[in-house]
Structure 1
């Protein structure tokens, strides 16, 4: 009886995203306490006992390190660049992101709830793919704003806006920063965040995606899920592409050499550091060595 809530893991038969939702549903104290309350109100020992056993099961899971599948929120993203002055001119001068810190060879910006930091490293011509969550009703305005300030929108199959169906359910547009990083404004419709003022990059809620090239997609995505308590959003069991996380934060895990949308430029391994709001972190060096710290 005490293991009955773990039947929720049968959801894994339909993918880790379904399993995560089932696990969260059956491992919430609210429902176990409700059973206990019903038992006492009805003077029904079966309901009360069921609630007590359910509560004990959740507590045991917590005590041995299992917990509800977490939302992924990126609080800090640290990347390399060749010239911090160019990054300052673009991200602060043009996009107006406030500067969080700066020095001779580094600079940081506040992008909504995320701190974006660039460390200068002239020994490698690194480039990355990352995305900004914007209000769900502003993707067309975002395209117009980019063109207005003179930034080329990168088309995909002749279109400025790329539509992603289920399970992503979003529209996106792409562009470059001064060092060739492939940036993305993405409007996610499940987040339902609308904004009634004209679009500006300051409307961005956070950085919600970072590309993670790797030699082994399956191994890397499994490690991220297990060590950081995340689930697969898209591309489960793929050996070339897997999105790990959720609408608020996603690791785009790809086989090194796989082309990034929308240009097809081949992904390459470069140093990246990611911190989440649950204190978990990911450090990757240019050789593809991963250091994952659990939250």
Structure 2
């Protein structure tokens, strides 16, 4: 599975563009008054403006080369504050064999850099740049209907990581380990790791393998369609 493109929403589109394409240096692909699109390695992120009355909150992770984690963390620290937990500003996930660090964007989305040691490739350099982003490695899908959403994904061969049980009170990683790409299904009100932010059922469109669209509408309803 690959996350080809995601459509997220922002209250201040200009501030978000300045952060991602200015401060961090992601390549701007397209823009208008109400949106912009940027390249994230092999993936694309589109931010669209939405009324400030609409609550939203996202978490997503960028895959980075397996041998550049410390370099990437140092690179981020020069541009934005890295989040810490109990005096730690990074974590090793044994289940994923991966190192991660986290930071907020201007609208308090929780952004992660993740270096999967067995899956993400190495590069022949010890200097990190934004061009080393590989793709979107994780994207949250917060919902009040966890079991039914998971069943829908299973119908399209998007199954839980390592065949784990679907959890209604925690995150379930959907997608096989070999691809290093996961959709995270979880409940609202859950606190994001390394963060004080609670997950919110938020409008989102996730495009998988350039053909499957997963959508949470503003009213919280889930829909899935195939192009």
| Same-fold call, TM cutoff 0.5 | yes
- 5+ unaligned residues in a row in structure 1: which ranges? 1-71
Q: Is the 8 A contact 2:150 2:166 kept in 1?
A: no
Query: Which protein has greater RCO, CA pairs closer than 8 Å, 6+ apart?
Result: 2
Are residue 103 (structure 1) and residue 27 (structure 2) matched?
no
Partner residue of 2:78 out of 148, 151, 157? 148
| Bigger proportion of residues as strand | 2
- Structure 2 residue corresponding to 1:261, chosen from 166, 170, 193: 193
| Residues 257, 268 of structure 1: 8 Å contact kept | yes
Compared with structure 1, are the counterparts of its residues 157 and 223 closer, same or farther at alpha carbon in structure 2 (3 Å cutoff)?
farther
State how far apart, in whole Å, the 2-side matches of 1:180 and 1:291 are.
26
**Match of 1:201?**
130
1:108 is paired with a residue of what secondary structure? Answer: strand
Higher helix share: 1
How far off is 1:222 after superposition? 2.1
How many pairs are equivalent?
221
Shift of 1:104: 0.5
1:129 is matched with which residue?
A: 59
Q: Displacement, 1:272?
A: 0.3
* Distance in 2 (alpha carbons) for counterparts of 1:236 and 1:158: 32
Summarize the alignment of residues 224-235 of structure 1 with structure 2, pairs less than 5 Å apart. 224-226=153-155, 228-233=156-161, 235=164
The CA RMSD over aligned residues, in Å, is 1.6
Distance 1:125 1:215 in 2: 15
How far did 1:89 drift? Answer: 0.9
Alpha-carbon distance between aligned partners in 2 of 1:146 and 1:291, rounded to the nearest angstrom:
35
Give how far 1:182 is off: 0.4
SS of corresponding position for 1:132:
strand
> Equivalents in 2 of 1:190, 1:74: separation in Å?
19
Q: How does 1:169-208 map to 2 (within 5 A)?
A: 169-195=97-123, 196-208=125-137
TM-score, normalising length: structure 2: 0.91
Structure 1 distance, partners of 2:226, 2:189, is: 28
CA distance in 1, matches of 2:126, 2:92: 23
Describe the superposition over 1:105-125 as per-residue Cα deviations: whole angstroms up to 9, x where unpaired.
100001111110000113324
Paired residues of 1:95 and 1:202 also in contact (CA < 8 A): no
